[in-house]
Amino acid sequence: MNALNWLDWVVLLGTMLGIALYGVWRTRGRSNLKTYLRGEGNTPWFVIGLSVMATQASAITFLSTPGQGYESGLGFVQNYFGAPFALILIAAVFIPIYQRCGVYTAYEYLGQRFDSKTRLLGAALFLFHRGIGAGITIYAPAIVISTVLNWPLNLTILGTGLLVIAYTVAGGSAAVNLTQKYQIGVIFIGMIAAFCVLVSRLPPDLTFTDALTVAGGMGRLEAVSFSLDPNKRYTFWSGLLGGMFLALSYFGADQSQVQRYLSGDSIRESRLGLMFNAVFKIPMQLGILLLGVMLFVFYQFEEPPVFFNQPAWAGAVRDAERSTSEVGNPLERLAAEHHAAYLERRARVQEWLNARHTGDAAQISQAQSSAQTANAALQAVRKRVSAAIKAANPSNPSTDADYVFVTFILSYLPHGLIGLLIAVFFAAALSSKAGELNALASTTTVDLYRHLFRQPQSDAHYLRASRLFTVFWGFVALAFALFAHMSENLIQAGNIVGSLFYGVLLGLFLVAFFLKPVHGTAVFSAAILSQVAVLVMFWTLEISYLWYNVIGCAACMVLSLVFQALLSTIPPRPPAEVSAA
């Protein structure tokens, strides 16, 4: 693999620092709280659309998703099938309410609809899980990039963390919108360039149909499955229902997204921004997965590394050399087996492609079967390699999917483009993180600080507070990333924490929108009880954590109705619930 040269550094630093400095410069001198928290108020729909997309697509989307396509094919795209319908529902129901109420945060609306305690509960649920998530947003790409480029991990985390804190503090929501527009531009240009280089490096006699045939024959093009088997990981049904639920929670009740589309000057702009995502989200994810599938085809004709996380492989070989008493290193024997299995697969795939041009169906079928068998043999060696690496040192990673794309970039892309692709990963990390910090600071200022300390203060006071809270959350995220020593499992744990709280949070909003008879005390009690139930179930049951989104939301809605019915039997008191804005 190549190291970065001066050209890559110029492109990388020029892109990252250039966008950040431009964002600060363009938003300089803006000292208005509303602009700081909600942007200019004249953000056009396509900027809102790009901003929503940039906040959602983190660096790990661009690092890991091609690896997912390489390992498992296109099936993962089904996870996004529910998103268009969730976005339509949010555009039709959520946005008009948020815009009409003129709120800074989604949780402020809960205060208007219910009461102060429900507002604080919503804000607390958001701050807790998004605060943890902000650390992972920085850490996850830093660990991969610093490993392959041999950079100090803490320096990588600090560099990206401080840069994003600086421009988010300086420019607020307006700077986030502005920088995200250019960052997503860098991301698209970089990913398209990588795809073009990849296709150009396929064998010259391999047509695009041949490439798709090889990928399909090896099970990488099963994009849609209507199977009802609950054990099948990605299906049309789970994507449509589960995906819709997740998207509703994320886009409708998570302030990091709500803040992005509230920056439009009208309901129309906010709605069109979300419709932009409803239309382009699936093609974007499909494109990234297809890149991974093409990487799989590419590595039919170019020998892949034994393990894509090559520093981990090298370390495991050294560990095995020290600890083994056998003659010869077992990992080196596995490497030789991998090489032989690769040569066998390449020969069988070539025979299959040759057979396709004869038109003889029996010959094609037999050649395809041989190629599939050879591929299965190579995959079996890969599994043994993963197990051996883990056995050499239990702290070693057991999967290498996150390293597939970055290995290709560093091995086959020309200098300059390498710098651009590394910039893509950092741009994605910065854009997500900026959106999160901005939302965490807004929620802390509006829903906690201003709400709890009721003495009215000037706009300038709250603006200073917002800036301080941005710095505070930035450093919380940095501390989490620097000192938590996250493993793959801890990153997964971050996703689990999100799912444990998202369901109840969405439940609060769905009750607010659709269950008009329910009041604050009923929904608050239902949310607390539902959250406790979700946590108890998490510790006692072994079901997929994604189900907790559904369970938490459904429990909150049903219990709200039950509690409201019970409370209605109590003789009414004079109205005590007033607008808590």
Partner 1 sequence: MTSPAQPEPRQEPTGTGLPLLRTWGMLYSAVAAIFGVYVLLLWLLTETFS
Q: Which residues bind partner 1 (CB under 8 A)?
A: 33-34, 74, 77, 81, 84-85, 87-88, 91-92, 99-104, 108, 112, 212-213, 215-217, 219, 221-225, 236, 265-268, 271, 275, 278-279, 282-283, 286, 450, 456-459, 462, 579, 581
| In the complex, least distance from residue 196 CB atom to partner 1, rounded to whole angstroms | 21
CB 318, min distance to partner 1, A: 42
Q: How far is the CB of 367 from partner 1 (least distance, A)?
A: 16
Considering the complex, state which of residue 225 and residue 495 has its C-beta at the smaller distance from partner 1.
Answer: 225
What is the spatial distance between Cα 581 and Cα 579, in angstroms, rounded to a whole number? 6
Contact 75, 233 (CB under 8 A): yes
Q: Which helix (H) or strand (E) holds 204?
A: none
Q: Which is nearer to partner 1, 266 or 544 (CB)?
A: 266
Residue with tokens 């920056």: 263
Angle between helices 459-483 and 116-149 (to 10 degrees): 50
Q: Count CB neighbours of 577 within 10 A.
A: 13
Residue 103 or 144 having the CB closest to partner 1 = 103
Nearer to partner 1, 101 or 471 (CB): 101
Give the count of beta carbons closer than 10 Å to the beta carbon of residue 237.
15
**Residue 454 CB, nearest approach to partner 1 (Å):** 12
Nearer to partner 1, 100 or 339 (CB): 100
Closest CB 38 distance from partner 1, rounded Å: 10
- Whole-number minimum distance, CB 243 to partner 1, in Å? 12
Is-contact 537 549, C-beta < 8 A?
no
Of 266, 249, 247, nearest in space to 38 by CA: 266
Residue type at position 478: L
Q: How far is the CB of 344 from partner 1 (least distance, A)?
A: 23
Of 399, 229, 287, give the one whose Cα is nearest residue 53.
Answer: 287
Q: 11 vs 218, which CB is nearer to partner 1? A: 218
Q: How far is the CB of 472 from partner 1 (least distance, A)?
A: 20
Which residue carries 């339509």 as its tokens?
88
Alpha-carbon gap, residue 157 to 153, rounded angstroms: 6
Which of 416, 444, 80 is closest to 244 using CA atoms? 80
Cβ contacts of residue 493 below 8 Å, gap of 6+? none
Tokens, residue 274: 């979300």
Token look-up 């799989």 returns 296
Nearer to partner 1, 297 or 556 (CB): 297
27/99 with CB nearer partner 1: 99
293 contacts 74 by C-beta, under 8 angstroms: yes
In the block, which residue shows the tokens 């890149």?
A: 291
Give the integer Cα–Cα distance in Å for 478 and 164: 11
Our CB check for partner 1 shows the closer of 8 and 210 to be 210
Task: Give helix 547-568 / helix 488-514 axis angle, nearest 10°.
Answer: 30
- Of 331 and 463, nearer to partner 1 (C-beta) is 463
Residue 415 CB, nearest approach to partner 1 (Å): 35
Nearest distance from C-beta of residue 152 to partner 1, angstroms: 43
User: Could you please report the per-residue DSSP string of 12-42?
Assistant: HHHHHHHHHHHHHHHTTT---HHHHHH--S-
